[in-house]
């Protein structure tokens, strides 16, 4: 049977999955009880943040290694470290995922919204294309697992390649793209629970050959659900852009996504107000169909700038180079270019 001292040594040698330092350095091992007559070990561990795939992975790791050391059964409870300890150890070290991109100083930007229907994915696609047009090496992860739409928006018809069991993302308009859409039958619904979603998001980093990137954008699902939380924990130093419309309700709901970003220490680059107005080609008159002020109010609440105001408008379609949601050399395309330039200025 394993001893208390052996369990302490084993667990203290494992890294806190949020802070990426050994549990011995955080003092996170709070309790170890060994019942030799029953072969049972009870453990209590405090970590940098509760919930998410990291906690599940840590639980499996601790249970497995303690059983390998001689325990018949393991009971594991979690608590959250004090904020003072978290701040002391947070430092500048990236997560395991971030460290893989460290050599190229890849910048992660998550595109979020409080609700669906505000054009978040359209913004993600066009920002990626605009950054690529500025000469940047860009990747785009369609992390909206339930509502994947990026390939259709960009007119992508190919599937990812495969090289030594590693996926090769599809490239279009200078942007490398990976999406759940590549792995399901057309219009088949994804009926998955939280842990399965987390594993899929992980695989977009672990099993894809991204190469050298300046920016990796993530189109998050709307709201503050499992996938958004997993991404926040996978990429603790990711920056974030919040998309809303001028409507007060959309801005109010978007504030929740912004609050989540701030709670998980993501820097918010700013707010993009989509569908700000419609301008008639015939008269030049602007109609504020969804009202005014939502983006400004949201930016004030989050204490961040408004990166841009995007009007309503249909992209020009080229039947030979079909990409139904990509704006090119028109008013909206130029607005995206200006936003991309602001992002580059802020992040470099």
**Residues 284-330: tens digit of each pLDDT:** 888 999 988 889 989 998 899 999 999 998 777 777 778 888 998 88
Residues 326 and 255 in one domain: yes
**Higher-confidence residue: 233 or 110?**
110
Residues 144 and 15 in one domain: no
Residues 216 and 282 in one domain: yes
Evaluate if residue 252 carries a pLDDT over 80: no
Strand spans (E) along 187-320:
215-219, 239-244, 267-273, 278-279, 286-287, 306-309
Within 8 A by CB and 6+ apart from 329, the residues are none
Q: Which of 90, 109, 129 is the last residue of a domain?
A: 90
Residues 164 and 202 in one domain: yes
Q: Do 237 and 108 touch, CB atoms closer than 8 A?
A: yes
Average pLDDT over residues 320-345: 89
* Core vs surface per residue 30-44: b (16+ CB within 10 A) or e: eebebeeeeeebebe
Average pLDDT over residues 88-113: 75
Query: pLDDT value at position 7?
Result: 94
**Residues 146-166: tens digit of each pLDDT:** 778 899 999 998 989 988 888
Average pLDDT over residues 3-17: 93
Query: pLDDT value at position 304?
Result: 92
**Residues 24-41: tens digit of each pLDDT:** 999 999 999 999 888 899
Confidence of residue 207 (pLDDT cuts 50, 70, 90): confident
Residue 255, both tokens: 């504030």
Residues 251 and 302 in one domain: yes
Percent over 90 (pLDDT), the chain: 43
Residue 253: other Cβ atoms inside 10 A? 18
Residues 168 and 193 in one domain: yes
CATH of the domain at 306: 3.40.50.300
Residues 73 and 198 in one domain: no
The structural domain count of the chain equals 2
Evaluate if residue 192 carries a pLDDT over 70: no
Residues 120 and 193 in one domain: yes
266 vs 56, 245, 258, CA distance in Å? Answer: 22, 22, 9
Angle between the 194-206 and 52-68 helix axes, to the nearest 10 degrees? Answer: 90
Residue 64, both tokens: 């497995």
CA–CA separation, 132 vs 153, rounded Å? 16
């Amino acid at each position: 049977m394993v001893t208390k001292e052996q369990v302490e040594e084993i667990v203290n040698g494992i890294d806190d999955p949020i802070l990426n330092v050994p549990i011995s350095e955080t003092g996170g091992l709070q309790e170890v009880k060994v019942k030799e007559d029953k072969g049972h070990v009870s453990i209590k561990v405090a970590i940098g943040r509760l919930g998410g795939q990291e906690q599940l992975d840590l639980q499996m790791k601790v249970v497995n290694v303690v059983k390998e050391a001689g325990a018949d059964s393991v009971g594991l409870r979690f608590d959250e470290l004090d904020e003072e300890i978290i701040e002391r150890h947070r430092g500048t070290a990236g997560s395991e995922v971030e460290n893989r991109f460290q050599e190229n100083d890849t910048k992660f930007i998550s595109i979020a919204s409080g609700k669906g229907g505000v054009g978040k994915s359209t913004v993600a696609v066009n920002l990626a294309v605009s950054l690529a047009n500025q000469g940047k090496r860009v990747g785009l992860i369609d992390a909206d697992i339930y509502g994947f739409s990026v390939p259709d928006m960009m007119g992508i018809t190919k599937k990812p390649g495969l090289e030594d069991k590693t996926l090769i993302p599809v490239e279009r308009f200078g942007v490398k793209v990976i999406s759940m859409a590549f792995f399901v039958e057309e219009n088949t619904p994804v009926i998955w629970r939280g842990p399965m979603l987390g594993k899929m998001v992980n695989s977009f980093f672990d099993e894809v050959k991204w190469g050298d990137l300046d920016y990796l954008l993530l189109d998050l699902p709307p709201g503050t659900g499992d996938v958004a939380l997993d991404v926040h924990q996978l990429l603790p130093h990711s920056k974030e852009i919040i998309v809303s419309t001028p409507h007060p309700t959309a801005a109010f709901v978007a504030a929740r996504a912004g609050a989540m970003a701030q709670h998980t220490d993501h820097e918010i680059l700013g707010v993009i107000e989509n569908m700000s107005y419609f301008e008639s080609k015939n008269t030049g008159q602007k109609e504020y169909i969804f009202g005014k002020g939502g983006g400004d109010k949201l930016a004030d609440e989050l204490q961040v700038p408004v990166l841009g105001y995007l009007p309503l408008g249909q992209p020009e379609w080229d039947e030979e180079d079909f990409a139904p949601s990509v704006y090119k050399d028109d008013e909206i395309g130029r607005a995206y270019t200006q936003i991309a330039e602001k992002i580059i200025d802020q992040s470099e």
